[in-house]
């Protein structure tokens, strides 16, 4: 696992350069994408590069990590809405090549179909991850199994608290999500983790140098052969 510590802006530029390289080498790359506050500087940089003609998503496909159960894609807090608003509507990607788990049809069969669709697309070339203050990746919360595939996940109280800033009250925060599993994530060929701000410092330290333990789901990434973590000084403070 490689850790690069720099400013948020530099991390976003360096991470965007990885996408530029990948998409230039493999224009039909399969990208695993993430939502939350953390990837926003990267998405702004990708939009800038796309508009400047430095990179194209025209042949790329994307698979997002997760979606809230019960939210339609046009709900402003749904992850489909987020992705359209923050990235897809501003770049040359074909909407039909973008995939976010369906928050309204959350049967085990639909979850399994998501993994199958990823496999049928050739597998994920580059998976983007944020990390929760509790060490979650996607909505794989502490204590969950290592061998999970896409599944319906119960959100921990701390995750609902962390995400309530986007909703009018804690009661409006969904209690479940459909999320890629740990195994889905570990099958990606390469992984980029972004972590910014002091609230992520403990989770980043546990991910990078703690024991590989379900108490910090991100610690499993120590066993993946190609992970790069981009963190600012606050998030890397305890490493």
**Is residue 38 part of the contact set for ligand PGA (CB under 6 A)?**
yes
**Is residue 217 part of the contact set for ligand PGA (CB under 6 A)?**
no
Query: Which ranges constitute the DSSP H helices of the chain?
Result: 8-25, 40-51, 79-86, 108-120, 157-163, 182-186, 201-209
**Is residue 106 part of the contact set for ligand PGA (CB under 6 A)?**
no
The question of whether 66 is a catalytic residue gets the answer yes
Instruction: Give the C-alpha separation, 112 to 236, whole Å.
Output: 35
Instruction: Give the C-alpha separation, 238 to 15, whole Å.
Output: 22
**Is residue 98 part of the contact set for ligand PGA (CB under 6 A)?**
no
Instruction: Give the C-alpha separation, 80 to 89, whole Å.
Output: 11
Rg (CA), the chain: 16
Place of tokens 């695993």: 32
Q: Which of 32, 101, 103, 132 binds ligand PGA (CB under 6 A)?
A: 132
**Is residue 130 part of the contact set for ligand PGA (CB under 6 A)?**
yes
Nearer to ligand PGA, 34 or 111 (CB): 34
The question of whether 99 is a catalytic residue gets the answer no
Q: In 3D, which of 182, 190, 186 has the Cα closest to residue 26?
A: 190
**Among 2-10, 41-49, 72-80, 130-138, which window interacts with ligand PGA (CB under 6 A)?**
130-138
**Is residue 127 part of the contact set for ligand PGA (CB under 6 A)?**
no
Give the residue closest to ligand PGA by C-beta: 36
**Is residue 179 part of the contact set for ligand PGA (CB under 6 A)?**
no
Q: Which of 11, 29, 33, 36 binds ligand PGA (CB under 6 A)?
A: 36
| Pair 17, 55: CB distance under 8 Å | no
What is the token pair recorded at 51?
A: 């508009």
Active site residues: 66, 134, 136, 141
Q: Which chain residues interact with ligand PGA by CB under 6 A? A: 36-38, 130-132
């Amino acid at each position: 696992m490689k850790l690069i510590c720099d400013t948020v802006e530099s991390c976003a530029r360096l991470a965007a350069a990885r996408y530029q390289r990948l998409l230039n080498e493999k224009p039909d790359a399969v990208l695993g994408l993430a939502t939350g506050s953390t990837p926003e500087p990267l998405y702004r940089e990708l939009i800038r590069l796309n508009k400047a003609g430095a990179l194209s998503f025209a042949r790329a496909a994307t698979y997002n990590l997760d979606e809230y159960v019960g939210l339609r894609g046009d709900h402003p807090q749904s992850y489909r809405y987020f992705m359209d608003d923050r990235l897809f509507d501003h770049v040359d990607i074909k909407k039909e090549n973008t995939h976010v788990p369906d928050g309204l049809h959350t049967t085990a069969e639909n979850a399994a179909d998501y993994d199958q669709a990823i496999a049928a697309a050739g597998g994920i070339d580059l998976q983007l991850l944020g990390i929760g203050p509790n060490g979650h990746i996607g909505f794989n919360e502490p204590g969950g199994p290592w061998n999970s595939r896409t599944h319906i996940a119960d959100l921990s109280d701390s995750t609902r608290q962390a995400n309530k800033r986007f909703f009018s009250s804690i009661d409006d925060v969904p209690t479940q999500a459909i999320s890629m599993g740990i195994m889905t994530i570990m099958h990606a060929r390469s992984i980029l983790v972004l972590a910014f701000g002091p609230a992520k410092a403990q989770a980043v330290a546990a991910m990078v140098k703690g024991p590989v333990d379900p108490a910090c789901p991100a610690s499993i990434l120590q066993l993946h052969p190609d992970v790069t973590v981009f963190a600012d000084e606050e998030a890397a403070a305890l490493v």
